[in-house]
Amino acid sequence: RSAMEAAAGPSRLRVGFVGAGRMAEAIAQGLIRAGKVDAKQVLASAPTDRNLCHFRALGCQTTHSNQEVLQSCSLVIFATKPQVLPAVLKEVAPVVTAEHVLVSVAAGVSLSTLEELLPPNTRVLRVSPNLPCIVQEGAMVMARGRHAGSNEAKLLQNLLEACGQCEEVPEAYVDIHTGLSGSGVAFVCTFSEALAEGAIKMGMPSALAHRIAAQTLLGTAKLLQQEGQHPAQLRTDVLTPAGTTIYGLHALEQGGLRAATMSAVEAATCRAKELSRK
Protein backbone atom coordinates (compact mmCIF):
# COMPACT_ATOMS: atom_id res chain seq x y z
CA ARG A 1 0.00 0.00 0.00
CA SER A 2 1.32 3.41 -0.93
CA ALA A 3 1.16 6.39 1.43
CA MET A 4 -1.51 7.90 -0.81
CA GLU A 5 -3.79 4.85 -0.70
CA ALA A 6 -3.30 4.57 3.04
CA ALA A 7 -4.32 8.21 3.49
CA ALA A 8 -7.89 7.13 2.81
CA GLY A 9 -7.87 5.20 6.10
CA PRO A 10 -5.46 6.86 8.55
CA SER A 11 -5.58 3.94 10.97
CA ARG A 12 -3.97 1.76 8.27
CA LEU A 13 -1.21 4.24 7.40
CA ARG A 14 2.23 3.07 8.52
CA VAL A 15 4.53 5.90 9.53
CA GLY A 16 8.24 5.42 10.05
CA PHE A 17 10.69 7.54 12.03
CA VAL A 18 14.42 7.38 11.42
CA GLY A 19 15.84 9.06 14.50
CA ALA A 20 13.91 8.95 17.77
CA GLY A 21 14.78 12.18 19.60
CA ARG A 22 12.40 14.71 21.15
CA MET A 23 11.05 16.07 17.87
CA ALA A 24 10.31 12.60 16.46
CA GLU A 25 8.62 11.64 19.72
CA ALA A 26 6.58 14.87 19.73
CA ILE A 27 5.34 14.28 16.17
CA ALA A 28 4.55 10.61 16.86
CA GLN A 29 2.68 11.51 20.04
CA GLY A 30 0.63 14.16 18.18
CA LEU A 31 -0.32 11.74 15.39
CA ILE A 32 -1.33 9.01 17.83
CA ARG A 33 -3.26 11.30 20.20
CA ALA A 34 -5.20 12.85 17.32
CA GLY A 35 -6.10 9.39 16.02
CA LYS A 36 -4.31 10.00 12.69
CA VAL A 37 -2.23 6.83 13.08
CA ASP A 38 -2.46 3.74 15.30
CA ALA A 39 0.53 3.44 17.66
CA LYS A 40 1.21 -0.11 16.46
CA GLN A 41 1.47 1.22 12.88
CA VAL A 42 4.43 3.44 13.86
CA LEU A 43 7.97 2.07 13.52
CA ALA A 44 10.95 4.04 14.83
CA SER A 45 14.67 3.35 14.50
CA ALA A 46 17.68 4.64 16.43
CA PRO A 47 21.19 3.24 17.03
CA THR A 48 20.56 2.63 20.77
CA ASP A 49 17.59 2.02 23.07
CA ARG A 50 18.08 5.33 24.89
CA ASN A 51 15.30 7.16 22.99
CA LEU A 52 13.42 4.16 21.60
CA CYS A 53 12.00 3.44 25.06
CA HIS A 54 9.85 6.60 24.70
CA PHE A 55 8.37 5.18 21.48
CA ARG A 56 7.73 1.82 23.16
CA ALA A 57 5.92 3.64 25.97
CA LEU A 58 3.60 5.12 23.31
CA GLY A 59 2.90 1.59 22.04
CA CYS A 60 5.00 1.93 18.86
CA GLN A 61 7.23 -0.66 17.20
CA THR A 62 11.00 -0.06 17.33
CA THR A 63 14.12 -1.34 15.58
CA HIS A 64 17.85 -0.59 15.30
CA SER A 65 17.69 -0.95 11.50
CA ASN A 66 17.01 2.19 9.44
CA GLN A 67 16.48 0.07 6.32
CA GLU A 68 13.75 -1.93 8.09
CA VAL A 69 11.79 1.30 8.64
CA LEU A 70 11.76 2.00 4.90
CA GLN A 71 10.93 -1.61 4.06
CA SER A 72 7.90 -1.45 6.40
CA CYS A 73 6.58 2.11 5.92
CA SER A 74 5.76 4.19 2.86
CA LEU A 75 5.77 7.52 4.74
CA VAL A 76 9.07 8.02 6.58
CA ILE A 77 10.10 11.02 8.70
CA PHE A 78 13.85 11.56 9.06
CA ALA A 79 14.51 13.20 12.43
CA THR A 80 18.24 12.61 12.86
CA LYS A 81 20.79 15.32 13.64
CA PRO A 82 21.56 17.29 10.46
CA GLN A 83 25.22 16.20 10.37
CA VAL A 84 24.20 12.52 10.52
CA LEU A 85 21.47 12.72 7.86
CA PRO A 86 23.60 12.43 4.68
CA ALA A 87 25.15 9.16 5.88
CA VAL A 88 21.72 7.82 6.89
CA LEU A 89 20.23 8.69 3.49
CA LYS A 90 23.08 6.94 1.67
CA GLU A 91 22.50 3.88 3.86
CA VAL A 92 18.74 3.68 3.11
CA ALA A 93 18.89 4.78 -0.56
CA PRO A 94 19.08 1.16 -1.88
CA VAL A 95 15.65 0.35 -0.37
CA VAL A 96 13.85 3.57 -1.41
CA THR A 97 11.09 2.92 -3.98
CA ALA A 98 8.59 4.98 -5.99
CA GLU A 99 6.02 4.23 -3.26
CA HIS A 100 7.89 6.21 -0.62
CA VAL A 101 7.16 9.72 0.60
CA LEU A 102 10.19 10.91 2.59
CA VAL A 103 10.09 13.84 5.00
CA SER A 104 13.09 15.54 6.62
CA VAL A 105 12.84 17.60 9.79
CA ALA A 106 16.63 18.13 9.93
CA ALA A 107 17.47 21.84 10.10
CA GLY A 108 19.71 23.24 7.39
CA VAL A 109 19.59 20.30 4.95
CA SER A 110 18.18 21.60 1.67
CA LEU A 111 15.70 19.79 -0.58
CA SER A 112 18.31 19.67 -3.36
CA THR A 113 20.80 17.96 -1.00
CA LEU A 114 18.13 15.44 0.05
CA GLU A 115 17.25 14.72 -3.58
CA GLU A 116 20.92 14.30 -4.56
CA LEU A 117 21.42 11.65 -1.86
CA LEU A 118 18.33 9.65 -2.84
CA PRO A 119 17.32 7.78 -6.01
CA PRO A 120 16.04 9.92 -8.94
CA ASN A 121 12.39 11.05 -8.70
CA THR A 122 12.10 10.33 -4.95
CA ARG A 123 9.23 12.32 -3.39
CA VAL A 124 10.83 14.46 -0.69
CA LEU A 125 9.40 17.14 1.60
CA ARG A 126 11.09 19.29 4.22
CA VAL A 127 9.43 20.29 7.48
CA SER A 128 10.63 22.86 10.00
CA PRO A 129 8.95 22.09 13.34
CA ASN A 130 9.37 23.73 16.75
CA LEU A 131 9.37 22.49 20.33
CA PRO A 132 5.67 23.20 21.14
CA CYS A 133 4.83 20.27 18.83
CA ILE A 134 5.30 18.33 22.09
CA VAL A 135 2.04 19.86 23.39
CA GLN A 136 0.32 19.80 19.97
CA GLU A 137 0.79 23.58 19.58
CA GLY A 138 3.66 23.57 17.12
CA ALA A 139 4.22 26.18 14.44
CA MET A 140 5.48 24.25 11.40
CA VAL A 141 6.23 25.07 7.80
CA MET A 142 6.75 22.56 5.01
CA ALA A 143 8.30 22.82 1.55
CA ARG A 144 8.12 20.19 -1.16
CA GLY A 145 10.81 18.87 -3.44
CA ARG A 146 10.61 18.69 -7.23
CA HIS A 147 8.85 15.32 -7.35
CA ALA A 148 6.38 15.76 -4.47
CA GLY A 149 2.94 16.84 -5.68
CA SER A 150 0.00 18.51 -3.98
CA ASN A 151 -1.36 15.11 -2.87
CA GLU A 152 1.78 14.40 -0.85
CA ALA A 153 1.73 17.95 0.55
CA LYS A 154 -1.93 17.56 1.60
CA LEU A 155 -1.28 14.15 3.18
CA LEU A 156 1.60 15.51 5.23
CA GLN A 157 -0.20 18.72 6.19
CA ASN A 158 -3.23 16.73 7.32
CA LEU A 159 -1.03 14.52 9.51
CA LEU A 160 1.08 17.32 10.97
CA GLU A 161 -1.93 19.42 11.93
CA ALA A 162 -2.21 16.89 14.78
CA CYS A 163 0.87 18.65 16.19
CA GLY A 164 -0.21 22.27 15.68
CA GLN A 165 -0.30 24.67 12.75
CA CYS A 166 1.38 23.61 9.49
CA GLU A 167 1.69 25.85 6.43
CA GLU A 168 3.19 25.13 3.04
CA VAL A 169 5.82 27.73 2.07
CA PRO A 170 8.61 28.21 -0.50
CA GLU A 171 11.84 26.64 0.76
CA ALA A 172 13.44 30.10 1.07
CA TYR A 173 11.17 30.75 4.09
CA VAL A 174 12.36 27.70 6.03
CA ASP A 175 15.47 29.39 7.48
CA ILE A 176 13.38 32.43 8.43
CA HIS A 177 10.94 30.12 10.19
CA THR A 178 13.87 28.65 12.14
CA GLY A 179 14.78 32.16 13.33
CA LEU A 180 11.19 33.21 14.04
CA SER A 181 9.67 30.07 15.47
CA GLY A 182 12.40 27.54 16.22
CA SER A 183 14.62 30.01 18.08
CA GLY A 184 11.58 32.17 18.86
CA VAL A 185 10.55 29.70 21.58
CA ALA A 186 13.69 30.69 23.51
CA PHE A 187 13.07 34.40 22.85
CA VAL A 188 9.53 34.11 24.21
CA CYS A 189 10.79 32.16 27.25
CA THR A 190 13.27 34.95 27.94
CA PHE A 191 10.47 37.52 27.78
CA SER A 192 8.20 35.40 30.02
CA GLU A 193 11.01 35.06 32.56
CA ALA A 194 11.64 38.82 32.51
CA LEU A 195 7.91 39.57 32.95
CA ALA A 196 7.79 37.31 36.00
CA GLU A 197 11.00 38.79 37.42
CA GLY A 198 9.45 42.26 37.22
CA ALA A 199 6.58 41.01 39.39
CA ILE A 200 9.02 39.29 41.77
CA LYS A 201 10.89 42.57 42.11
CA MET A 202 7.61 44.23 43.12
CA GLY A 203 6.96 41.59 45.79
CA MET A 204 5.07 38.69 44.18
CA PRO A 205 6.21 35.13 45.01
CA SER A 206 8.29 33.56 42.22
CA ALA A 207 6.18 30.48 41.38
CA LEU A 208 2.98 32.54 41.19
CA ALA A 209 4.63 35.22 39.02
CA HIS A 210 5.92 32.61 36.53
CA ARG A 211 2.51 30.90 36.32
CA ILE A 212 0.75 34.21 35.64
CA ALA A 213 3.37 35.30 33.08
CA ALA A 214 3.00 32.01 31.14
CA GLN A 215 -0.80 32.26 31.21
CA THR A 216 -0.59 35.88 30.01
CA LEU A 217 1.45 34.74 26.99
CA LEU A 218 -0.98 31.89 26.27
CA GLY A 219 -4.08 34.09 26.56
CA THR A 220 -2.60 36.84 24.41
CA ALA A 221 -1.61 34.34 21.69
CA LYS A 222 -5.15 32.88 21.66
CA LEU A 223 -6.65 36.37 21.35
CA LEU A 224 -4.33 37.20 18.44
CA GLN A 225 -5.28 33.97 16.66
CA GLN A 226 -9.02 34.07 17.28
CA GLU A 227 -9.56 37.77 16.64
CA GLY A 228 -7.23 37.66 13.62
CA GLN A 229 -6.16 41.17 14.56
CA HIS A 230 -2.84 42.89 14.07
CA PRO A 231 -1.00 42.92 17.44
CA ALA A 232 -1.00 46.75 17.36
CA GLN A 233 -4.81 46.72 17.46
CA LEU A 234 -4.93 44.44 20.49
CA ARG A 235 -2.27 46.50 22.22
CA THR A 236 -4.31 49.67 21.65
CA ASP A 237 -7.32 47.97 23.30
CA VAL A 238 -5.28 47.66 26.53
CA LEU A 239 -4.08 51.29 26.51
CA THR A 240 -5.94 53.90 28.53
CA PRO A 241 -4.82 57.53 28.62
CA ALA A 242 -2.30 58.10 31.42
CA GLY A 243 -2.87 54.48 32.55
CA THR A 244 -0.50 51.76 33.73
CA THR A 245 0.14 50.18 30.32
CA ILE A 246 1.46 53.25 28.54
CA TYR A 247 3.93 53.85 31.37
CA GLY A 248 5.14 50.25 31.02
CA LEU A 249 5.32 50.45 27.22
CA HIS A 250 7.38 53.63 27.43
CA ALA A 251 9.89 51.74 29.61
CA LEU A 252 10.01 48.88 27.06
CA GLU A 253 10.67 51.32 24.22
CA GLN A 254 13.48 52.93 26.24
CA GLY A 255 14.99 49.47 26.64
CA GLY A 256 14.88 48.93 22.87
CA LEU A 257 12.75 45.79 23.09
CA ARG A 258 11.51 45.92 19.49
CA ALA A 259 14.91 46.52 17.92
CA ALA A 260 16.48 43.80 20.08
CA THR A 261 13.76 41.29 19.11
CA MET A 262 14.05 42.07 15.40
CA SER A 263 17.82 41.71 15.65
CA ALA A 264 17.42 38.36 17.45
CA VAL A 265 15.24 36.93 14.66
CA GLU A 266 17.65 38.33 12.04
CA ALA A 267 20.70 36.85 13.82
CA ALA A 268 19.05 33.42 14.21
CA THR A 269 17.91 33.41 10.56
CA CYS A 270 21.40 34.36 9.31
CA ARG A 271 22.88 31.58 11.41
CA ALA A 272 20.37 29.08 10.00
CA LYS A 273 21.36 30.16 6.45
CA GLU A 274 25.02 29.82 7.33
CA LEU A 275 24.46 26.29 8.67
CA SER A 276 22.47 25.41 5.51
CA ARG A 277 25.41 26.44 3.34
CA LYS A 278 27.76 24.20 5.35
Identify the H or E element spanning 70.
Answer: helix 66-72
Is 81 assigned to a binding site?
yes
CB within 8 Å of 65: residues ≥ 6 apart:
45
> What's the CA gap between 53 and 68, in Å, rounded?
18
Is 66 assigned to a binding site?
yes
Is 190 assigned to a binding site?
no
Is 222 assigned to a binding site?
no
Beta strands in the chain (DSSP E): 15-18, 42-45, 61-63, 75-78, 101-104, 123-128, 138-144, 164-168
Is 178 assigned to a binding site?
no
Q: With H, G, I as helix, E, B as strand and everything else as coil, classify residue 45.
A: strand
Q: With H, G, I as helix, E, B as strand and everything else as coil, classify residue 178.
A: helix
Which residues contribute to the annotated binding site for NADP(+)? 79-82
* Binding site residue list for NADPH: 66
Binding residues: 66, 79-82
